[in-house]
Amino acid sequence: MWKLGVNIDHTATLREARYRGQSRGEPDPVEAALACVSAGCHSITAHLREDRRHIQDHDIDRLAEALTVPLNFEMANTTEMVAKALEIKPAYVCLVPEKREEVTTEGGLDVSGQSDQIAATCQRLQSVGIEVSLFIDPDEAVVQASKETGALAIELHTGAYAESFDCEADREAELARLVKSAELAHSLGLKVNAGHGLNYENIKQLHGVPHLEELNIGHSIVSRALSVGFEAAVKQMLALM
């Protein structure tokens, strides 16, 4: 069975809509994370963005202290964020691209265009036991470039698959890209995860993609939790997985 990583960023999005700039507020991302853990998820993902639009430094600090499952720390490859990762020492770091104008992370890393910088970060973090994954588009050339950086894992960007889900031809084409990328990554010895845009409907088709170990899902679970609570939302997703 796949493992489920729950991204709790958007609990902080809701909090920041009312409590921006304050040290406390609701809902509490850490409380949400612990509810997800209690329901059986396998890890918690949180993205400390450079503009601090949702998750804040104190959230990451508290998560690092409170979690009994691995913390997957999503971050841009910057000096500030590398220092933060070395401070809190999460189990995993996932390097992602960031643009201030985007609503959420769109597109994968340009691995070839910044291979030296990525390789240096991979070496630095992995030397202290932090597993580094790269958030990449399902493209075989990018998978190969990811391997060359020394990263131990990749997270395949499933956004294009999710966006094409209602068109069978486009959906099948995107699934084929995911299959080829996963097969290549596995043959290269990379751990293969996936995420972005996954929900209670489109997750079923991913059973055709081989070698996936963990799916990172956030917005859909947080949205359903508003109606049924985090425990039920996580358990429903786990049942589909």
Tokens of 162: 């999710």
Q: What is the pLDDT of residue 88?
A: 98
Residue 102 has pLDDT above 90, yes or no: no
| Cα within 13 Å of Cα(20), Cβ side | 9
Q: What is the pLDDT of residue 23?
A: 82
Instruction: Give Cβ neighbours of residue 28 (< 8 Å, ≥ 6 apart).
Output: 11, 15
Q: What is the pLDDT of residue 59?
A: 97
CB of 48 within 8 A of CB of 60?
Answer: yes
Q: Which residues of 59-94 are buried (b: 16+ CB within 10 A; e: fewer)?
A: bbebbbeebebbbbbbbbbeeebbebbeebebbbbb
pLDDT digits (tens, 9 = 90+) for 189-236: 999 999 999 999 999 999 999 999 999 999 999 999 999 999 999 999
Average pLDDT, the chain: 95
Q: Which fold has domain 3-240?
A: TIM Barrel (3.20.20)
Instruction: Give Cβ neighbours of residue 178 (< 8 Å, ≥ 6 apart).
Output: 138, 156, 158, 161, 194, 206, 209
Residue 104 has pLDDT above 80, yes or no: no
pLDDT digits (tens, 9 = 90+) for 117-146: 999 999 999 999 999 999 999 999 999 999
**pTM tops 0.85:** yes
Residue 103 has pLDDT above 80, yes or no: no
Q: Please give the distance of CA 194 from its chain centroid, rounded to a whole number.
A: 8
Q: How confident is the model at residue 98 (pLDDT cuts 50, 70, 90)?
A: confident
DSSP single-letter state for residue 67: -
Amino acid at 76: A
The region, left, alpha or beta by phi > 0 then psi within -120 to 50, assigned to residue 21 is left
pLDDT digits (tens, 9 = 90+) for 17-69: 999 988 889 999 999 999 999 999 999 999 999 999 999 999 999 999 999 99
Q: What is the pLDDT of residue 105?
A: 54
Domain ranges of the chain: 3-240
Q: What is the pLDDT of residue 24?
A: 86
Tokens of 222: 């947080």
Q: What is the pLDDT of residue 164?
A: 96
Q: What is the pLDDT of residue 107?
A: 75
Tokens of 79: 């000096």
Q: How confident is the model at residue 100 (pLDDT cuts 50, 70, 90)?
A: low
Catalytic residue IDs: 47, 74, 196
